Chains A and B, each alone.
Chain A
Amino acid sequence: MTGGARNERTLRGCVAVIGIGETEYYRHGASPDPEFKLALKAILAACEDAGLDPREIDGFSSYSDDRSEASRLAAALGTHRLRSATMQWGGGGGGCCAAVGNAAAAIVAGLADCVVVFRSLAQGQYGRFGQAGGIHTVSGERSYLMPYGVLAPPQRFAMRVQRYMHEHGVRQEALRAIALASYHHAQANPRAVMHGKPLDVEKYDASRWIVEPFHLYDCCMENDGAAALVLVSAERAKEFRHKPAYLLGAAFGSGHRAAATAHNAPLYATASFDTVAPDLYRMAGVGPSDVGVVQAYENFTGGVVMALAEHGFFKPEEANDFLTFENLIAPSGPLPLNTSGGNLADCYMHGFELVLEAVRQVRGMSTSQARRSDVALVIGGPMVSPASNLILGSEATL
């Protein structure tokens, strides 16, 4: 390694996903298993997929205060030792890619060799994200919102999207195209919660408002389940069962004062990727035109509009022209989006199902395989701080 290369701090090509696993995905409240058991099932499935002895796992990484704590997992699984346990701050699925980045960083830094990244979430057991109850008094950020009925994520994010639509002339049809694409892909995915429940224009238009500008189908589901993947260094990646999916880059964070309370971020109408997307492309050494397939976290479709624009696929003023159903579907749309069905129609696994789907795309094993899938982008929860994203690539992209 030259002196120059040693100074280049990057995750590019240093680690690879060797296994993915998920539980059955359930409507909230329908899981027969407790949340921790779901986590164990997903992790064991990921190890089985890789052909890895689970006792070799020496690190865990998650986000959004996952309740399945690393030391308990290590004890339950009987791992030989625990070396890395990383929790990404922040909620709203903003950490679904950061958790992978943190795990990769631990491996690259020599802190661990075999790290599981996972999310386990049983909203039926611990409370639905879409309902605010059992709270008598509130302080801080929530106190400026909840007494006015800005209670749950739909109301927290609708004003941000409304402002964006106002500034850039984005029409409801652009949001609708995203919902239609997710549901379309879910019909090909037998694991998807909304498999067998197609959506069309008439059904979308007739659906009730949750909060304007979000119809019912603009909003993610609330589910129970768990998803996991296993990361190892690139040197070891070919020892396992499947074609490795290499991490080309990851980035996290948000711009200047993005989290200023009571909706006071200087740049308000943003998905929080204004600084994070350029960081990702810089590390990955690719640009938007190299990306063949995208998984973009839909808490709400409006967040996807903003996130895709901030990742350079179109200018905000072009959103209405770019965001059409035909453009967003596999195999041949210019930008196949959420090819498993995503948070809207596959499962709201807090975005981690999106990371697994990107791995399937790189492997060539998706139920809605994109024509170009050597470079697969995942965009984590938009409109939150910290946000995160990542790019996976096949061996050919290294």
Chain B
Amino acid sequence: MSNPSTRYLPAGLPIPVAEPDGLSAPYWEGLRQGKLLVQRCGRCNNWQFGPEWLCHRCHAFDPAWTEVEPRGRIYSWERAWHPSHAALKGHGPYIAVLVELPHAGGIRMVGNLLGDPEQAVAIGADVEGVFEHHPEQDPPYSLLQWRRP
């Protein structure tokens, strides 16, 4: 399905899995296939992320999963220095970004900004998605990271 990718953060951080009720299963399965799937209501076309069983705009149940292009722009960012997890001890700074997707109703998602962890970061800058696959992990999973084009 997917080969292991270079990881941005060390192994040992919590692994994302779908809820027992399966709400986000299509999202995580999509990432494993190298696709970004988000919810878009089949009745009113409202975009929604994170997923929910109900469209918050028109109250239709089970909004459809739609593939969108993984690109967007930086809405906010942070550079973390303090290790809040044992896996990060001695790792040094890393950057998390909040990316908005203007072509998908402005939904936002959090990822890491690849590259120099001490680089200057500008709100509004364009970024493109990079899938980070971990098929060797138990359970296997994939993340969506971001880089400047």
The interface of chain A, by Cβ under 8 A from chain B, is 130-133, 135-152, 154-155, 158-160, 162-163, 166, 208-213, 257, 260-264, 268
A152 to B15 alpha-carbon distance, docked (Å): 15
Query: Is B16 interfacial (CB 8 A cutoff)?
Result: yes
Any A CB within 8 A of the CB of B131: no
A-B contact sample (20 more), CB < 8 A, given A132-B84, A141-B50, A268-B75: A130-B84, A136-B14, A138-B16, A138-B17, A139-B24, A140-B19, A143-B24, A143-B28, A145-B110, A147-B14, A155-B84, A155-B96, A158-B78, A159-B98, A163-B98, A262-B49, A262-B50, A262-B108, A262-B109, A263-B108
Report chain A residues within 8 Å CB of B13. Answer: 146-147, 149, 151
Q: Is B82 an interface residue (CB 8 A)?
A: yes
In the complex, how many angstroms separate the beta carbon of B139 from the nearest chain A beta carbon?
Answer: 7
Q: Known: A133-B85, A140-B19, A151-B85. Is A264-B80 also a contact (CB below 8 A)?
A: no
Q: What number of residue pairs across chains A and B have CB atoms under 8 A from each other?
A: 145
- Evaluate whether A264 and B76 lie within 8 angstroms (CB atoms) in the complex, with A136-B15, A139-B16, A159-B98 already known: no
Q: Tell me if B61 counts as interface (CB < 8 A to partner A).
A: no
In the docked arrangement, what's the CA distance between A146 and B23, Å?
18
Q: From residue 26 to 70 of chain B, which have CB atoms closer than 8 A to chain A?
A: 28, 49-50, 52, 56
Task: Report B80-113 CB contacts with A as 1/0, cut-off 8 Å.
Answer: 1110111010000110111000000001111110
Alpha-carbon distance between A211 and B13 when the two chains are bound, in angstroms: 18
Cβ contact of B78, chosen from A131, A143, A212, A268, cutoff 8 A: A212
Question: Considering the chains assembled together, what is the distance between the CA atoms of A136 and B86 in angstroms?
Answer: 13
Given contacts A137-B16, A141-B50, A163-B123, contact A148 B111 (CB under 8 A): yes
List B contacts of A138 (CB < 8 A): 14-17
| In the complex with contacts A148-B110, A148-B143, A211-B81 CB distance below 8 A | yes
Please tell me if the beta carbons of B16 and A143 are within 8 angstroms of each other in the complex.
Answer: yes
Contact A149 B18 (CB under 8 A): no
What separation, in Å, do the CA atoms of A140 and B24 have in the docked complex? 8
Q: Is B9 an interface residue (CB 8 A)?
A: yes
A265 nearest CB across to chain B (Å): 9
In the complex the two chains form, is A143's CB within 8 Å of B17's CB? yes
Closest to B51 in A: A261
* In contact, A135 and B79 (Cβ under 8 angstroms): no
Counting chain B CB atoms within 10 Å of each CB, the highest count among A141, A149, A158, A163 belongs to A149
Q: Which residues of A contact B18 (CB under 8 A)?
A: 139
**A135 touching B14 by the CB < 8 A rule?**
yes
Shortest Cβ distance from A17 into chain B, in angstroms? 36
Verify A148–B9 contact, CB threshold 8 A.
yes
Closest to B145 in A: A148
A167 CA / B57 CA spacing, docked (Å): 27
Asked if B76 and A159 make an inter-chain contact with CB atoms under 8 angstroms apart, the answer reads yes
Task: Determine the chain B residues whose CB is within 8 A of the CB of A140 once the complex forms.
Answer: 19, 23-24, 50
28 of the cross-chain contacts (CB-CB < 8 Å) are: A133-B85, A135-B14, A137-B15, A139-B18, A140-B24, A140-B50, A143-B28, A144-B16, A146-B14, A147-B15, A147-B16, A147-B141, A149-B80, A149-B94, A149-B112, A151-B13, A155-B78, A158-B78, A159-B96, A159-B97, A163-B98, A211-B78, A211-B79, A211-B80, A260-B56, A261-B50, A263-B98, A264-B108
Closest CB-CB distance, A271 to chain B, in whole Å? 15
- Is the pair B111, A162 in contact by a Cβ cutoff of 8 Å? no
Residues of A within 8 A of B20 (CB): 139
* Chain B residues, Cβ within 8 Å of A212: 78-81
The answer on a CB contact under 8 Å between A154 and B80 is yes
In the complex, how many angstroms separate the beta carbon of B20 from the nearest chain A beta carbon? Answer: 8
Q: With A208-B81, A212-B79 in contact, is A133–B86 under 8 Å at CB?
A: yes
Select which of B17, B77, B110 is within 8 A of A262 by beta carbon: B110
Give chain A nearest CB distance to B141 CB in angstroms.
8
Q: Are A264 and B49 in contact (CB under 8 A)?
A: yes
Report B72 CB to chain A, min CB distance, Å.
13
Question: From A210, which residue of chain B is reached at the shortest CB distance?
Answer: B82
Q: What's the minimum C-beta distance from B125 to chain A, rounded to whole angstroms?
A: 12
Other-chain contact of A264, B16, B50, B77 (Cβ < 8 Å): B50
Report the nearest A residue to B138, measured CB to CB: A136
B residues within 8 A CB of A159? 76-78, 96-98, 110
Cβ contacts under 8 Å, A151 to chain B: 13-14, 84-85
Residues of B within 8 A of A263 (CB): 76, 98, 108-110
Q: Are B15 and A209 in contact (CB under 8 A)?
A: no
Tell me the bound Cα distance from A263 to B77 in angstroms: 12
- CB-CB under 8 A from B78, the residues of chain A are 155, 158-159, 162, 211-213
CA gap between A145 and B109 in the complex, in Å: 9
Contacts of A163 in B (CB 8 A): 75-76, 98, 123
Q: Which residue of A140, A147, A150, A263 has the most chain B CB atoms within 10 A of its CB atom?
A: A147
Q: How far is the CA of A260 from the CA of B47 in the complex (A)?
A: 13
Name the distance in Å between A127's Cβ and chain B's nearest Cβ: 12
Cβ distance A168 to chain B, nearest Cβ, rounded Å: 13
5 closest Cβ contacts across the A-B interface? A261-B50, A143-B16, A158-B78, A163-B76, A152-B84
